[in-house]
Amino acid sequence: MRQRTVRQRTVGPPSPTATDPDEQRLAAVVHIAFFLLLCSSFVRFLTRDQGGARTGWVVALFAVFCLLYVLGHFVAPAPRPGSPPTARHLAWLGSVSAVWVVLLVLAPSATWCAMPLLFAGLHALPPRLSVPLAAVLTGLVVVSEVRVAEGPLNPNMVVAPPAIAAVATAVLVRLQRQAARQRALIDDLVHTRRDLAATERRAGVLAERQRLSAEIHDTVAQGLSSQQMLLQAAERVWRTDPDAARGHVRKAADITSRSLAEARRFVHDLAPADLAERSLPAALSALAERESGPGLTVEFRLDGAPGPLPERVEAALLRIAQGALANVREHAAATRAALTLTCLDDQISLDVADNGRGFDVDTASPPEPDGARGHGLPAMRIRARQPGGTLTVESTPGEGTVVSAAIPLALKEAVT
């Protein structure tokens, strides 16, 4: 997971647009507590502390204090959790605190209105500012309580407010830091998920490109290569043997029709055309018959009775057979080849053997047309791996080649 710098951020009362139900409930509790304390302080002032010329000023300050608090909720809302406070919110917090201090000097009854201010400061400011603010507010509360005390000094007036404020400050700072760590963890998880999704998309794109490359190689490219060879042969004997030339052209036209059908099914992402109305053994037999011609005889052999197979397995085996026979026809200089489909209880295998020139599998791969090398065999290996199988190649120079693909039948259900 990537490293990030975790800043200490504050969690505060939600803005009006906050949608978290917990944040909304917390804000409602704070507002209710403020108005209860404000009303209680005002009633106490009217019943115990009023008198003199300053009564009108105190009532006006109570009204201004209440109005500032209400306006601050709409004009200068608290920052969202994890966001720094805005200049407008800081100005509101400073102004409402200043009004409270003046009100406290004129009317000690407003002492406990400091609690909502303490809460707002701890939630809106970072700890380096909120802790000193809490200390100042607590000190003013203690001074105010001592000033209006009657009789012997009650130690609780001095000890209780700092103790309560210390506990509240410690708890809220702890919650701030825990929330900051949680937000950093969530950010890391979100970015990791995005990176993983991007990686999966890139892997999917590469896999699809590889699949398209193999499909084009086994269908369009092989068909075009065969057509080119037939048309070149027809051109060579056009004057000397018109019947043979016309035969080459007809065969090229047949290949064109099959290639067109393959291309259409390829565009619609369907199974190979040979499997549309045939079983796998019938499709391999038809492939062997098509590939047989002057100079090359291809036989098909079936060993065992294949049961129902997933389309993906049938398509993979047929494409492997097509690619292997294309290599035999174009590179092996073979006169005979054999397709053998073997059906066992736990796997199905396909062997393509020829009596051609062979090659050294440890040091070289059979060349591909146009100077490209080794595209056919890697594509066949990929096709065999997709349904959970394997592909092996056995060849010796001068002794032919055997390409074998084996797919476990136990994985049939997983690849349907």
Tens-digit pLDDT profile for residues 393-403: 999 888 899 99
Averaged pLDDT for residues 343-359: 90
- pLDDT over 60 (residue 5): no
Averaged pLDDT for residues 115-131: 72
State the Cα–Cα distance between residues 295 and 323, nearest whole angstrom.
Answer: 19
Q: Report the range out of 102-106, 175-179, 268-272, 381-385 with the highest average pLDDT.
A: 381-385
Q: Which residues contact 232 (CB under 8 A, 6 or more apart)?
A: none
- pLDDT over 90 (residue 18): no
> Is the CB of residue 134 less than 8 Å from the CB of residue 115?
no
In percent, how much of the chain has pLDDT > 90? 11
Tokens for 267, please give them.
């565009």
Q: Report the range out of 61-65, 329-333, 399-403 with the highest average pLDDT.
A: 399-403
Q: Which of 343, 340, 305, 290 has its CA nearest to residue 320?
A: 340
Q: Whats the size of the chain, residue-wise?
A: 416
The enclosing H or E element of 144 equals: helix 127-148
The DSSP bridge partners found for residue 296 are 293
Angle formed by the axes of helices 114-124 and 127-148, to 10°? 170
- pTM exceeding 0.95: no
Q: Which of 183, 201, 219, 199 has its CA nearest to residue 80?
A: 183
State the Cα–Cα distance between residues 13 and 28, nearest whole angstrom.
Answer: 9
Which pLDDT score is estimated for 406?
Answer: 93
Which pLDDT score is estimated for 371?
Answer: 41
Q: Which of 89, 44, 85 has its CA nearest to residue 69?
A: 89
Which pLDDT score is estimated for 123?
Answer: 66
Tokens for 198, please give them.
């991007």
Task: Check residues 137 and 338 and name the one with the higher pLDDT.
Answer: 338
Give residue-wise pLDDT tens across range 273-326.
Answer: 677 778 899 989 988 998 888 888 999 999 988 888 888 888 889 989 988 988
- pLDDT over 90 (residue 405): yes
Averaged pLDDT for residues 115-140: 74
Q: CATH homologous superfamily of domain 278-416?
A: Histidine kinase-like ATPase, C-terminal domain (3.30.565.10)
The DSSP bridge partners found for residue 300 are 339
Q: CATH 3.30.565.10: which residues of the chain?
A: 278-416
- pLDDT over 60 (residue 327): yes
Averaged pLDDT for residues 59-86: 80
Which pLDDT score is estimated for 36?
Answer: 86
In whole numbers, what is the pLDDT of the chain averaged over residues? Answer: 78
Q: Which residues contact 323 (CB under 8 A, 6 or more apart)?
A: 217, 218, 222, 376, 379, 380, 383
Which pLDDT score is estimated for 264?
Answer: 67
Q: Report the range out of 62-76, 172-186, 379-393, 399-413 with the highest average pLDDT.
A: 379-393
Which pLDDT score is estimated for 122?
Answer: 67
